[in-house]
Amino acid sequence: MNEGGDLEELMALIRSFVRERDWEQFHKPSALAVSAAIEVGELLELFQWQSDKNIQELLNNENYRESLSHEIADVLIYILRLADVTGIDPAQAIIEKMQLNEEKYPAEGWSGRIPDKTGER
């Protein structure tokens, strides 16, 4: 696999890992979604109680960056596995969602602004 790899290569790598361990039986959509949420919690722990300034400093620390990299990978692994198990093409899902976002939040009128919970300007 090339450096980084594309999504299909990554999904194939994950699929192979799971098959070699006979874990497919455990990879039901709900279990994968729960596992992804747990991993997001672990990712958030790296930011808990840290100021933006402190996080910028931590990003220069090799151990912190490695931990961050591993947690991001864990989240992505479960999300890609969930997409695989449910037959959803993650690249296509992102493209479609970004098109919807483009319609909902056109650059003109939203540049430099954050929508409130209702999505109103």
Cα within 13 Å of Cα(33), Cβ side: 4
Nearest to 84 by CA among 20, 16, 34: 16
- In the predicted model, is pLDDT for residue 2 greater than 70? no
Separation of alpha carbons 42 and 51, rounded Å: 18
Separation of alpha carbons 98 and 19, rounded Å: 32
Q: Please give the pLDDT value at position 11.
A: 97
- Return the CA Rg of the chain: 18
User: All domains of the chain, ordered by start, with CATH?
Assistant: 7-110 (1.10.287.1080)
Mean predicted lDDT score pLDDT of the chain = 93
pLDDT grade for 115, boundaries at 50, 70 and 90: confident
* Strand ranges inside the chain, DSSP E: none
For 63-114, how does the pLDDT look when each residue is reduced to its tens digit (9 = 90+)?
999 999 999 999 999 999 999 999 999 999 999 999 999 999 999 989 998 8
For 3-38, how does the pLDDT look when each residue is reduced to its tens digit (9 = 90+)?
667 999 999 999 999 999 999 999 999 999 999 999
Q: Please give the pLDDT value at position 1.
A: 46
Contact 103, 47 (CB under 8 A): no
